[in-house]
Every structure is written in C-alpha cells, then in structure tokens.
Structure 1
Amino acid sequence: MKSLRRLSLSFNGFSGPVPESLSKMVSLEFLHLGSNKFEGSIPKGLCEEDLRNNLKELYLEDNLLTGFIPPSLGNCSQLVSLDLSLNYLKGTIPSSLGSLSNLRDLIIWFNNLSGEIPEQLMYVKTLENLILDSNELTGEIPSGLRNCTNLKWVSLSNNKLGGEIPSGIGQLSNLAILKLSNNSFSGRIPPQLGDCRSLIWLDLNTNLLSGPIPPELFKQSGKIAVNFVRRKTFVYIKNDGSKGFHGAGSLLGFSGIRKEQLKRISIRTSWNITRGKLQPPNFYHNGSMIFLDLSNNMLSGSIPKVIGSMFYLYILNLGHNSISGNIPEQFGNLKNLGILDLGSNRLEGQIPQSLTGLSLLTEIDLSNNNLSGLVPTSGKFFTFPADRFLNNSGLCRDTLTPCEEELGYSTNVQHQKLDRRKLTLSANVVCLGSTLAAVLIQGQLIFVWKLTGAREALSINLETVENSLQKLTLADLLEATNNFHCDRIVGSGGFGVVYKAQLKDGSVVAIKKLIHGSGQGDKEFAAEMETIGRIKHQNLVPLLGYCQVEEERLLVYEYMKYGSLDILHDQKKAGIKLDWAARKTIMIGAARGLAFLHHNCTPHIVHRDMKSSNVLLDENLEARIADFGTARLVNAMDTYLSVSTLSGTPGYVPPEYYQTSRCSTKGDVYSYGVVLLELLTGRKPTGSSDFGDDNLVGWVKQHAESRKFDVFDPELRKEDPSPEVELVQYLHVAFACLHYRPRKRPTMIQVMAMFKEIQAGSPKSTIVTGDGGLGAVEMVDMSIKEATELSKE
C-alpha cells in the first residue's frame, strides 16, 4: 500500500478516527475522505518532516473532526488543495501553512477556529481560493494578501474580524468573489476595489462601514476566467427573512458536501434554509457584477448613478443604511435585476418610472424612506405588496394612504411629526423666567424649524447647510405651550426647564427654555444650534427648532414618550418595567448614538455630559441621546479639546477631566460606562449609603472581585431564564469603558462590536405599561439599520 497514489472514500458512512497509518503512505497524492462520519483529530503524522511526502489534495470536509489543525501540514510541500470545512476544529490556523508554495485552495469554513488569519499566507503566491467563513476569527485582514495575485475567491464572512478593509485588495485583478459580511469592519469602502476587474460578487453586508459608496467601485468589467466555474458546485442560500440572517443571501462552495448538511448549517446560524431556498448562481455572463450587497452598514451619501450601468446585476441590496438623495433613473437600465432592496434609508423624491421596465424584478423593498409621489402601478409594481412601500411620509398608493391626503390636499393624521416643517415665527415675545408669562416686546423672535424627516448623509461640513423657512403664527406658539404654564413642565436640568407642547395638528413637541445665567452664552448657544440642528440619527433626539432673542433661548425637540432613563430608578411611578431585554436595547441604542457623534460626524462631536438623564426613551423604548448644550466640535485631526470650564455631572465625570480639563471622546466612553453600570445594577451613580465615600464605579469594581453577581439588579436576576451569563458579559464591556487610562478604553465603534459578539439570540423585550398593556420591542440588531447619519441638505 505504500505505493498507493489515490485514495477516495468520500460520500460513505465511515466513522471512528482517521487512521494514523495513512501518514505512512508516502506515495499518496490524493486523499479524499470527505462526507463521512470520521471523528477525533487530524493525524499529526501527516507530512511529518522526516518523511518524504507527495500529498497534493487533502479533503476531510463534512466530517466530525475535532481538535487542532496540525502545524505539520505545513510540511506537505506538494499540497495544492486543503479542505477541512464543516468540522468542529478549534484553535488557530497554523502559520506554517504559509510555506505551502503550491497551495491553491485553503478551504476551512464552518469550524470553530479562532485567532488571526496568518500573515504568512502572503507568501503563498499560488493561492486562488481562501474560504474561511463561519469561524471565530479575529483581528484584521492581512495586508500582505495583496501579494497573492492569483486569488479568485476570498470569503471571510461570519467571523469577528475588524479594522478597515485593505485597499490593497484592489490589486487582485483575478478576484471574482469577495465576501466579508457579518463582521465588524469599519471605515470606508476602498474605492480601489473597483480595480478588481474580475469582480462579480461583492458582499459587505452587516458591518460597521461608513461614508459614501465610491463610484469607482463600478468601473470593473466583471470579466472572469473561463475555468473559474469548472468542477465547482455552488449553492446560493436566499434570505427568507430568518432572524439573524442579514443581507440578500449567502454563496457557499458546496463541492464534496452532502446536501443534507444544510440542516447543520441552519441549526448553527439560525438561517431557515431547510425549505429548499436553494438557487445556483449563473456565472456565464461577463460585463458587470451580478451580486452587490452593502446592506446593514452605516453608509451615507447618494447612490452612484453608475450602478445603472451594471447590466448583468441580479441582486442589489443597499438597505438599512443612511443613504440619501434620489433613486437614480439609471436603475431602469438594470434589465437583469431580480431583487432590489433600498429600504430603511433616507431616500427622497419619487420612484423613477424607469423601474417599471424591469421585467425580471421579483422582489423590491423601498419602505422606511422619505419617498414621495405616486407608487407606479405598471409593470411588476402592480404585483408588489403595500408593505414594500410603507413608512414613506409622502408616498401614496391605493393600498397606502389615499393620494389626496399624502400630497398635501388634507391633513394626514398618521404623519403628525414635524419631520418636514421648516418654519419661521416672526413675533414679538419674550418668556419671563420666574413668572413663565409671555408678553410682547419690540423686535423679532426667529423660530427656525430644522428638517428632520429628510434623512441626510454623513460626514459633511456643518457650515454648508442651507435653511429654508416658512411662517408659523404667534398664536400657534402660545397655544402649544399654554403660555408656558407650569402644568406643562415635564423636566428640568442644569440648563433649563422642559415643557410638553401640542400644536394644532396634534404634533407633540418638547420645548426647552434655557435658564438665564446657566452658563450658555451666545457662543455656546450657537455651537449647540450648529451641532444638533444638522444631526439626524435614530438614536439622537432631533432638534426641530430654536429661537434667540436677547437673553432668551428656546429649543424645540421631538417629544419622547417615556422621558429619560431616570425612570430606571422609579419604574413604578413611570408606569413601565425595564426588563433585561429592554435594557439591552437601551444600551445598544445609546452606544449607536455616541458612535455616530464620535465617528460619523465631520467635525467629530464630543457630548461632554453623557448621563442617564440625557438618554431619552421613545415610544419603543429606543434610546435617544439628548442635550448637546455643552457639545463642542472637534477637528478631525484632534484627539482632545480643551475647555475653559469643567463639564459633566458628578458620578459620570471621567477622572482625567479633573486633572487636565481636557475633554475627549474617550471621556464620553467613560460616562457611557457609568450608564451601563446603572442599567446593570439599578443604582444611581452617587448618593447611596452602600457606597460609603465612594461612588457606583468604585463600589461595583470592589464587589465584582469577590461577589460579582451581587452587584446586579435583583429584578434582573429574578428573570427566567436567568440572564446572569449575559450580565457578566455586559459588565466586562462596562469595565472596559471605565478604564482609568483614556487610551485603554475602547472607542464606541469597538463597544458596538463587543455588543455584536454577545447579542446573538436575544429575545424580544416586553414593555409593561401602567394600564397593563403589552407591547413588543424587537431587540435591536447591531447593524447599519441602527445607525443613521449627519445631514447634508
């Protein structure tokens, strides 16, 4: 048997360990044992250094193998293909594989591998297929992979990878498939990817990518090598709406794997793919991409018109981002388009009539945008259900709100928010602080309403926004506030009093009347206006308007039903119960809001007074960060911003503020960590007799060393099933935020990535209201649909 060159036993029912004696067969070139029930570890004797070996193909996919990948495989100097997919292997990918100078296929998807992708793979110049999906890999994509110019398929989805996507990937002229979905990649999409002239499949969904979609991405031709599909079996798993399955679908290389193993994938990933949702892709058309999925990120800007030139594009998914502007008319040229998802963005304008000519279009989602006008009824649009167009305040169709209402001929009661008003009040009024009376004075009171319905793009210069104003009568203002009567007061803080007000059309707003001498001078007030007036994000309280007359300052915000997170400490009075699922929703929402301020605004924004009373809760218990009264704009090149006076609230102020009076985004991270502790413990940050001379942070750190579970809110520990494991995980995130050294604290983007790792399988949160009513709040996904971006009007 020592002279045996090929041994192929695939697709049988062999079990037990892989015989160690196989390592003695030094003439063996092809060892195919895939799709069996082999268990145990991979024989360590394979390609031992002291043995001559000729092994070229090692296929052990679709078995029950456990343990580690033997580093000795790096001695298989003739190895061309290594497939260990669909096993239970753990540990790291051996760096010794970087010495395999003939390796073409490195396929190890769907295991439990951890650690980083070895940098040494850059030396494998023959590498064509690098498929490592569905593991637990961390770190960044090795920049040296740009040297592997023969790469055709790079698939790293469903891992825990982060950092930026290397621009050097653009040097891979043969790359046809790039799958990086469901990771934590941040930064911008490299425009250099457009240099991949063979690229036909680009899947970047469910990451933390931001910025605009680069038009350069679409200059590639989509021409692939003829032999790319030879002897390959592909399976495309279409997204059927399963929870946790983001994006349009997933492409798998299924060579050597039994079809029934799809059930195993379904159990582990929560993808409901056992219903026959299989569809093989067609690679036989050259000329453009056929699959583009950038959904569930934090992308902004407008949709590049050049996408309309991608003639063979079949799937286009840009949903759940913060993309603004119009739907390009050029999309009518996508004659092969079958699936179009632009939902949950900030798109405006009308649906182009050119889309009615897309005869192959089977699915569309334009919901949750700011589209207006009539929904086309010709072509395939006649067959699309109404829910594909819902939540567009100006869009009308027979099965939606009647057109005469949506187009402004009558009042639409369903859309009474001030999303699209830009109003100016020319009046003579001043609010006297102590008496709350309104009287007329000489001069003008300018009430500027900011556009909140149109969801604008990220990363703009705040000085470029133009305002368009309409008029609101004085009677409207006085009636809305009942002359600033004290029974309308819903809260007060260090900077002023907040009133609940209702306008004639039923719109409910919150008006904040700043206290004289509160410390906000003209510059501070102007800074707040220039900051929050241009920010649009679902986890920030939108500023609808403001006025400034002499010493008077009034801010008008969207009203938040449940007030601030302070209700945590008096839930009975608030008529609401915050269970663990609801608190996680609040934690993640607040994190997204801060991450937006820190990373997606240009210039960056430091809040400087992050605390529970500045975390407001809307009707869905979604967190909205409020009160940018002490906000400052930070130049993108600066790390810190010096301030003349110490900002913040006792218990939340990071230690370095007392020492240096230097505010930074890492200071906000510390304050956010205190809010996390409040949600985990149910305690206020200061004032408890249990703390002694310490505060909440010190008390938790002291007790967590010996009695970790004792620090958690007893109400949370009573829940069934117990969330104690998750409580500890979230506590570790809080501790990371509360590190004494600012540089050791994570960024808010990194905090979101931590949450993403521990969030899988979260249940729905139940809101228990005072009248006994129940309302379900879906656990927020750590994806792009949660992050919206800064305005560019």
Structure 2
Amino acid sequence: MKADNNLFHHPSYSYSSLPLRFFLFIFLLSLSSPPSSANGLLGDAQQLLSFKNSLPYPDHLPNWQPTISPCNFHGVSCNNNSRVSSIDLSNYLLDADFFKVASFLLSLQNLESLVLKNANISGAISSAPRFSCSGFLNSLDLAENAISGPVTDISAFGVCPALVSLNLSRNLVDLSVKEVAKGSGLSSLHVLDVSYNKISGENVVSWFLSDDEFSELQQLSLKGNKVGGSVPELNLKNLMYLDLSLNNFSTKFPTFGDCSNLQYLDLSSNKFSGDVGDSLSTCLKLSFLNLTSNKLTGPVPKLPSGSIQFLYLQENYFQNIFPASVSDLCTTLVELDLSFNNLTGNLPQELASCSVLEVLDVSGNSFSGEFPIDTLLNLSNLKTLSMSFNGFLGSLPDSLSKLVNLETLDVSSNNISGSIPSGLCKDPKNSLKVLYLQNNIFTGLIPESLILANCTNLNWISLSNNEWDTGFGRLANLAILKLGNNSLSGSIPGELGDCRSLIWLDLNSNFFTGTIPPALFKQSGNIAVALLTGKSYVYIKNDGSKQCHGAGNLLEFGGIRREQLDRISNRHPCNFTRVYRGTIQPTFNHNGSMIFLDLSHNRLDGSIPKELGSMYYLSILNLGHNDLSGPIPQELGSLKNVAILDLSYNRLNGTIPQSLTSLTLLGDIDISNNNLSGMIPESARLTRFLIIDFRIIPVSAAVETKKRRKKKEAALEAYMENHSNSATAHSIWKLSARDALSINLATFEKTLRKLTFADLLEATNGFHNDSLIGSGGFGDVYKAQLKDGSVVAIKKLIHISGQGDREFTAEMETIGKIKHRNLVPLLGYCKVGEERLLVYEYMKYGSLEDVLHDRKKTGIKLNWNARRKIAIGAARGLAFLHHNCIPHIIHRDMKSSNVLVDENLEARVSDFGMARLMSAMDTHLSVSTLAGTPGYVPPEYYQSFRCSTKGDVYSYGVVLLELLTGRQPTDSADFGDNNLVGWVKMHAKMRVSDVFDPELMKEDPSLEIELLQHLKVACACLDDRPWKRPKMIQVMARDSGGIRARCKKESK
C-alpha cells in the first residue's frame, strides 16, 4: 500500500470533524491551565485522534474520544505541563503502516518515549520521507512488527536529535549491506537493537561500529540475522553490550582492539573457528561471555580477571586439560559451563577457590579420575553441579552432604560405583531438588535417608540403569522416580501412593514380585510440585531392541540436547528413536497426578487393581511382560487421557471390556500374548489398532470381526469400480453431501514382489555412500538399478527388534496395496535377520524440500504453476489416505521432505505407512503417537499423544505455506523464537502480500489474488482448533466458500 502524501489535507482529519463537545472540554481546561498548555494539549489531542481515525480498526482504541483528555487515553501519559510525553500501545492491533506512525505520533512536540511493540506496524521506513520528530524523543520501541526496508534506512531516525534508544528487533529489516552510505545522523544513539531481522552482508558490523556512524553507541544487538563474512578488528571504545549470536559468521575468532568498556559479549551459535588466544585480553570489564556452539579449538582461553561472572564455552572443540588459570576468575565467577568439549584430565584443585560459584557444568567431555570431592567441598555456594557423560570413577562420599545449597546433582553416565551416601539428605538445611545418578554402577541399598523428613525439596530422582539389588526406602513427596533396569526385588511399596505430586514412576526391568498394591493409586495429587507445574517435558521412546526394555525415558524439562543422545554411556543399552513433548498440568483437580507408569518386565502377579482406573491424568501405562492374570478391569475405561496402553505378555483372560471404547485419546494399545477371547468391542479406534496389534487372539474373535465386515466390503468394491482414482491433473474433487465412501485395502493390487537381500546389495554396491540419496527418521535411502534395468529407491530401515517378522510382512502387504497417482508406490520389500528394506519407485527430482529450498541440488526452479500442481497433488494423496482406506491412514509426519516430485513435477506423498509399520514391528510398546517434525506439528499434539487426520491437515497447511512463501518452517534467522506459521499469521493481519515468495511476485504481479486464495486455504488448515480445520477432501475442493469465509475471519 502506497503512503498517502495528502493525508494531512483529508477532510476526516480536519478540526471541523471534531465534535463541539471536544472544544467545550478544551475551553473548560483552559480555565485552569496556562494558555500555552491548553493550546498544546489541543494540538496533541488532534494528532492522536487523527492517528486513530487513520486506522482500519479505530475501535481498537475505544477510549480515545474527543470528550476525554488525551492524558487519560489508554497507553498515553503526560508530563507536568499536561503535554503528551509517553505512549505505550504494545500488543494493540493497530494495523497501521509506518507512515502514519511517523506522521501523527513521532511529531508530537513533547513526546519522550514511544512504545509500539507487537502492534502490527508495517511498511518501509522510507515510506515516510523527511518526517518530523519530537526534539525530546529519547526512546523508540518498534519491536515485533513488520517494518521493512534496508537496514541503512534507520538513518532516517537521525531527525530525532535526542534519540538514545532504538529497538527494531523482530521486524523485516533486510537486504544485504555491501556499500553503505556515510553519515547516519545517529551519532548520539546509545542503544540499538535490530535482532531477529533479515540483515545480511559482510560490512554490517563495521558500519554499526564505525566512529563516523554511531560514535556514541553503547549497546548493539544483531542477534538472529544472517550476517556473515569476516569481522574486522573491532574498536569498541564506548561499547558496553554486543550481541552477534545466531548469525552466519564463519571466520577465525575476531580480534578485539580497545574493548575496555565492554561488559557483555555474546558470539554464540555461529561458526567462528580457531584459537581464541588473547583476543579478549583488553576487555577488563567483561562480566558476561557466551561463545556457545561455535567451532573454537585450542585450550580454554585465558581471560582478564576481576569481573567475569558468567562464562559459557559449551559445545565447541576446546581441548587439553581443565585450565588452572580459571582460578584467576574465581573471585567473581558465578556460572561456568564447559560442557560438550574435548577436555580431559580431572578438575584442578585451583577450582576450589571459586567460592561464589553457583553453576558448574563440565558434562559431555572426557574427564576422568576419582570423583573430585576435595575440590567441590570448597564450593559452598554451588547450586547446580553437572558432571554427566564423562569417565569419573570412585564413589560419592558422605561429605557431599555438606553442600547444603546444592539443588541439582547430575553425575549420570559415568563409572561411579558404591552406594548413595547415606547422609546425602540428613542435613535439614539441604536444598536438593534433582538427583541424576542413572547409567553408573551403583550397588547396594538405596538409603533410608531419602525420606520426606529430610529431602523436603527433592522431586526428581533418576537411579535407573545401575545395579541396585535391595529394596528402597520411603521415597515421598516426589515428582519423578526412575528406578528402571536395576536388580530391585520384593514388593512394590504402597506408600508410593502417598506421593501427592508423583507424575512419573518407572520401575521397569527389575525383580519385583507380588501384586500391584491398590494403595499405589490412592494419591490425591491436588497440588503439583512448583518446579514442575506448567513446565515442558521431553519423553523419548526406546527403540525396542532385545536388550532394551521399558516404554521410554524422561529428559530434562525445557528441552532436549542432541549431544546427550549422541554421547550416551555404554551403561545404557537403549537407542532412542522418537521424541515427544508435553506440558505438566498446573494443578490436578482429579484424583491422581501420575502421567506415566511403567511396571513392565517384572514378576508381578495377581489381577490388575480396579483402583488403577482412578488415575485420571495417566497418559502412558505399561504393565507388559509380567504374570498378571484375571480379566481386564472395566474401570480402565475411565482413563480418559491414556494414549499408550500395553498389557501384553501376561495371562489375562476373559473378553476385552466394552469400556475401552471410550478411550478417545488412545493412540496405541497392545494386549497381545494373553488368553483373551470373544469379539473386539465396536469401536473404530479399537478395531484399527487391535486388528494390527492383537497378535495372538483366538480364532473366534477374528471370525466374528470378519463376519461383521463382509457385507460392507461388497459395497465398497462396487464403489471402487465407480470411483476411479485416475483423475486428470486439472480435475478437482468436489464435495458431495457426505464424505467419500471408504475402500477396503483388500480390493487393491496383487501381492508385492519379494526381493532377495543379495539383489539389493548388488544394486546399491553394498549400500555404498555413493548410492545414498537421503536420510530420515526411519532410515537411509539409496538409489539403485535392479537387474531388469528399473531404477528404484531403497529405504534401509533403522534396526529394530527382530521379533516382528510377521507384523512386518503383514504391514508390507497392506501398505503395498495402497495405490494412487499421488502416493509413492511400494514395489517390493526384503527382510533378512534384523535388516528391513523397502523398494519404492524412484522420483527424479527428490523431495519438495530439496526442490524448493536447495535449488543447487536439484537444478530446477518452481514457478507458480508447478507449485500449484504440487499443492493439489499432495492434497489428493493425503485425502486418499484419509478418506479412501480402511482403516483410514494417518500420515503423522507430513512435511515437504515427504512430498517427492517425479519427472513430470507431480507430487507423490511418501512415508505414509512408516509410523504404522514401526509401531507394528515394536514388540514392547507400539507407540504410534509420533509427534512429527518441528515446524509441522499441530499445537494439540503438545497437549496429548493423540494423532488424527486433522493433525495431518495442519501439517499440509505448513507445506502449502512453504510453497507460497518459499521459506522453511523453522529458521531462527527468519523467525527467531517463532516459526513460519506464526510469522505468516502475524503478517496476514497486516500487509498480507509481504508473505509471498518475491520470486512469484516477480513472475507475475497479477498472481497476488490467486495466491491469496491459496493462503486462505492454508489459514483454514492451520486453525489452532482441530475441529475447525477442513477435511482433506474439502481442501481439495478449495473453492469452497466455507473455507474462505473462515480464513477471512481469522486474518482480520
């Protein structure tokens, strides 16, 4: 939208448009105010009301009325002279362009501060040439908007002579800075934040730190841009704060000249390399230094002493021993993180002088030697000690209890032996909250001292994968208790039911005997521990290999570090294959706060307690591989939030209770290898999973199920004959009064061709890297030419349990019958030992992700016609899975890398049976609740483990956004902490055309109307409320008025 340069002369902004009562108000005010004050306030009011009237939605400022003093307007403050001096309209949906802001607000004569954070301000800074600015304005905050234009346009703010603080973070300031103009006019600026924009180029830092441009600059943030190239020697004479993190710097570590005033330096998440050396030796006031996630080598750098408080050097390649010179920093050092480097040796004794140190993290290195208790005991203020993933030896001494301020102790994945110190929690002043001892070789008794009376703050205990061989003490008031894979015996204590905040109980793979105590399920759980409430947690699924038991593991709240999975200790026998996220309930209003219960792989007998049905929040329940008997209690139907249920490998008998049909969130159920009989209850969800997973079921149940479906199959076959899937590329399926009927898979193609391992080994040259064309979550993909000359793609699945041969074959025969022009067809398969190989038709151009985002790899450019064709094809393929198969198939991982492109640029959806296949082959826990890929995961998947067709619709909406915008779904440089969906939704409310790929707009500007219609379809797919999203068959009929209306409403 072009700026209206005649805006000031428009009738709607004239004084005559203001009601008479406003002038009466000004007259009354003048009786008690100096004449100049009243006149000035009149002018301020006129400008503010003119600004309001210029907005598309002026009712967003409801109390900005002519009868009200501007000093009482929402977001407005006045000075002692009754003049408008401060405006804060953060989070107001103003939908204004920058021209109006500059014309009406910046020119307010006495304005000192203007904050319009997240106020839907758009347009280029250059749209308001030669605007006037208050001579008093010292602070301007325009963060989190859609202001655009080259970064050098900020020179326009040079007309604000008193401006000292400018915040343009999280906008669309872009373009490469190659040749920049001299003379910004901002020589008085002290604080400049342009983080999370689209700034690139190689001269950016030089321009900002030039004496000629910003000579008085004290704080500069360029975080989250795409700035790269070399960094010249920096002369930071006045600079106190510099943040260049999350950019594309890839040179040697920069040299700092005069940095005598620098206090804060963040260069993290770049690719700086080499030895830091003495580059920072002149930064005598430096108190915060973050060099995380670079490629720095050499020894830990020597830094000036006397001021460093926070030092973060993790995730680099620093080597050699822990430097004794760190002791020079000890008088001020509060937090030190050296994790995930290549450091060796032991912790130096000199570290003992760091008396104010509160956080010490040396995890993920190659430290060794005895546990350095003598050194650690001197760190009396220590709150967090993380030494995981190293090679420390010896035992934990009783004297460790002297660290009474210690809140988190993590010595997991080492070679520490012996027993837990009996006095660890004896001191009533102890602060211990989190205790990680897993993956070591601890033995003996878990001490009685871990009881409520002493460890009042303890809420996470992980002792799994050790060698405990006796019972455990009274563990109370806990949130997390992980004791899996030990040698614990005896009965499970009912006292655990007294733990009001217990959310995670893992006792798998021990030698527990006796019955499951009903008292375990009496926990009231009304209040969760403060540390956990409302926090995110990460659950990782075990790979199901023979030596790996149990459902999975819980990692630290707030995120998962890939390095922890890559460097896990040999003491842990499991590989982790899938990651799930969720949020702990802030309060528990029903009985039972527990969300995870794993008692599998023990020797428990007796019946399943009916009291288990009272655990309202339970999401994962694994009682498999025990000796339980009797019927499945009807009460389990009350577990309304359960997503994963495993009762396999027991001696349960009777029928499957009808009450299980009410488990609407159920994603997986495994009740195989029992003595159950009768019919499967009438439930589409149960039928879907039990037909796949009910591995050893009496013939009677299968026969009854077959009888019920026999008549339906005949009708479906007739429908198939009359509704061919050979639609042309130009046809679009229309909605009928009801959804398309389903088609039983048995009516499709003939049996798959079986190939030998030798055939595929020869075709890939022994699965040589030269044949590798891709990798994914389920395995590697190789290009191969078979003996008959046909070119195929071979997917070599990740290794999983070899006990699933029958399930693998059944799934192959099922998936192989699914044929559609927009699905990648499965041509054959091979299984030998633990190897599983799938043979697919080869697609010339690979994935849409490569074609769209890595043009050098594919060598083709997609115009709009090609993109539209791909969008329609992908929708057809997904709709076929949802509406034309029994059981309906949920993809669970729809993304651009799973949309392949053939030689005719036709879209082919791939991997549509992978999540289901891996579930069927998993002999311990058939988890089908795959969360998907970040950026494509619908919001409801973070609330529960339930997957649905509407989740696939959401993921398709993200793919459609990729085609429209040309952007990837997650890119910190583009979106910061946001993602593509959030970015588009924000911009769709402002200047919607800014979201489209500039290449498409250059191709044909008239495309904007058509692109807008497709954006509306994407908007409908991306509704946060799953029930509001269209079905895929509706998406195909994208000229449906209902979808457009909803998108139009949401984009307002």
Assess same fold via TM > 0.5.
no
**Superposition TM-score tier, normalisation by shorter sequence:** 0.3 to 0.5
State the TM-score, normalizing by the size of structure 1: 0.45
